[in-house]
Amino acid sequence: MMFENTLAFARKLDAEDPLKNYREQFYIPQQNGKEVIYFCGNSLGLQPKSVRKLVEEELEKWQNLAVEGHFTGDNPWFTYHKQFKEPVARLVGALPHEVIVMNNLTTNLHLMLVSFYQPSGKRIKIITEKGAFPSDQYALESQVRYHGHNPDEVIIELAPREGECTLRTEDIISTIEQHSQELALVMMGGLNYYTGQVFDMQAITDAGHKAGAYVGFDLAHAAGNIMLDLHAWQVDFAVWCTYKYLNSSPGGVAGAFIHEKHAANTQLPRFAGWWGHREEERFQMKKGFIPIYGADGWQLANAPILLMAAHKAALAIFDEVGMEAVSRKSKKLTGYLEYMLKSNPVMEKRIQIITPENPAERGSQLSLLVKEGGKQLFEAISAAGVIADWREPNAIRVAPAPLYNSFEEVFRFHEILSGHLR
Ligand SMILES: *Cc1c(COP(=O)(O)O)cnc(C)c1O
């Protein structure tokens, strides 16, 4: 792709963009009466205008039908979660009965670890990324302690080579091979939240399985951002939140994937609740947990309908566009951002892009390390109407989202940034 550093060119890309009209389906925050440049959809996605109507419908139903709402109306609450199966399966490359929308991300991670981290004998180790998102670190650490082991001895962290910022697939694989006798689990992000690196989930899954371990991914930054094919990759489990790229409301409901090969495995330990019990018998209040076949059998509780309604509205947009089109624009938009930054000679001296250059190894995010004065730079661009993300000690993460960001915004972002770099 040949790009040009002109406003006219950015506008031409927008005019040719098949997704250009989707921006109008979102509320864009304003600052001093002007729309901000919102490059923070990797932290909290913008509100789709369609959310309010669906949430209000459920409020009305609660108002008018109260408890009857569980079994009456268009989308009875009793089966509300079932509407998500098909669209979510398409989103993450799964079979419908392999996915479930429930709880929040960290809760789902714990539930999956209960089932898929089963240390026994010498096989007690976990391989993960160094510097993983803190919630993931704490979940792993506490699960290891729960089984009576010492996290420092059991958790092996993958770190980049000296002088490098991202992990090499060959190093991940060789670490797995090296620990194959003691390995119980490989659990890491599918896309690292800090560097924006996408991992080769298929290669990692193959290597983990060859070593006799289970393999799971936290897809918080991958779901709704990159193409996923969890079923074909044979991933054992995955979890994600829906408030980042999936625009489904702050703290909204989360997702989980459990591969079909585990669908009927009642030998796996799990923490159970009534919503995971055989549906036909749920209200018989009988003793003895019998899980529903597939991912539904991991549900604990009845669904938070208002959050589910927000997710439904947001997901409808993804389902209409399709992940292929989202991903195609993502590559072009992030590619344009990279081009703009790299075509500026001042940038070289002041900023290092640590996200991989290869479009297959990244999504809609570039992480910029600012060599000096990072915080001041971040504050200056924030005051000028850019909403990005600051990570101590020196990183600015920018994430242009394909559904609501434009090439013109990328152009203007570069203009603002370079204005403060002189
Ligand atoms: C955003 C994020 C979380 C947040 O977890 P919640 O349970 O949604 O609060 C956890 N892990 C990763 C990798 C994340 O990116």
Q: Is residue 1 part of a domain?
A: no
The rounded Å distance from CA 140 to ligand 1 centre is 13
Average pLDDT, the chain: 96
- Residue 284 confidence (pLDDT): 83
- The range of the structural domain enclosing residue 197 comes to 55-319
- Residue 34 confidence (pLDDT): 96
The protein residue whose alpha carbon is closest to atom 10 in ligand 1 is: 135
CB of 189 within 6 A of ligand 1: the answer is: yes
- Residue 384 confidence (pLDDT): 97
Q: Which of 319, 344, 370 is the last residue of a domain?
A: 319
The rounded Å distance from CA 420 to ligand 1 centre is 32
- Residue 358 confidence (pLDDT): 97
37-38 and 386-387 strand pairing: parallel
Q: What is the mean pLDDT of residues 388-414?
A: 97
211 vs 215: CA distance, rounded Å: 10
CB of 221 within 6 A of ligand 1: the answer is: yes
Which residues lie closer than 8 Å to 293 by C-beta, 6 or more apart? Answer: 97, 263, 264
Does the global pTM surpass 0.95?
yes
Q: Under the phi-then-psi rule, with left for phi > 0, alpha for psi from -120 to 50, and beta for the rest, what region is 49? A: alpha
The protein residue whose alpha carbon is closest to atom 15 in ligand 1 is: 220
Which of 241, 248, 391 is the best mutation target for the ligand 1 pocket, counting ligand atoms within 8 Å of the beta carbon and taking the most?
A: 241
Q: What is the pLDDT of residues 263-276, one digit of tens each?
A: 999 899 999 999 99
CB of 133 within 6 A of ligand 1: the answer is: yes
- CA dist 44 → 130, 220, 255, 402, 405 (Å): 24, 11, 16, 14, 14
Q: What is the pLDDT of residues 318-335, one digit of tens each?
A: 999 999 999 999 999 999
- Do 79 and 126 have their domain in common? yes
Atom of ligand 1 nearest to the CA of 109: 7
pLDDT of 1 strictly over 80? no
The rounded Å distance from CA 221 to ligand 1 centre is 9
Q: What is the pLDDT of residues 229-249, one digit of tens each?
A: 999 999 999 999 999 999 999
Atom of ligand 1 nearest to the CA of 243: 8
Q: pLDDT confidence of 283, banded at 50, 70, 90?
A: confident
- Do 314 and 336 have their domain in common? no
Percent of the chain with pLDDT over 90: 94
Q: Which of 319, 351, 380 is the last residue of a domain?
A: 319
Q: What is the mean pLDDT of residues 277-287?
A: 86
Q: Which of 319, 347, 376 is the last residue of a domain?
A: 319
The protein residue whose alpha carbon is closest to atom 8 in ligand 1 is: 105
pLDDT of 10 strictly over 80? yes
- Residue 346 confidence (pLDDT): 86
44 vs 243: CA distance, rounded Å: 6
- Residue 224 confidence (pLDDT): 98
Q: How many folded domains does the chain comprise?
A: 2
pLDDT of 307 strictly over 90? yes
Q: Is residue 363 part of a domain?
A: yes
Q: pLDDT confidence of 310, banded at 50, 70, 90?
A: very high
- Do 284 and 197 have their domain in common? yes
Q: What is the pLDDT of residues 335-388, one digit of tens each?
A: 999 999 998 888 888 999 999 999 999 999 999 999 999 999 999 999 999 999
The rounded Å distance from CA 419 to ligand 1 centre is 34
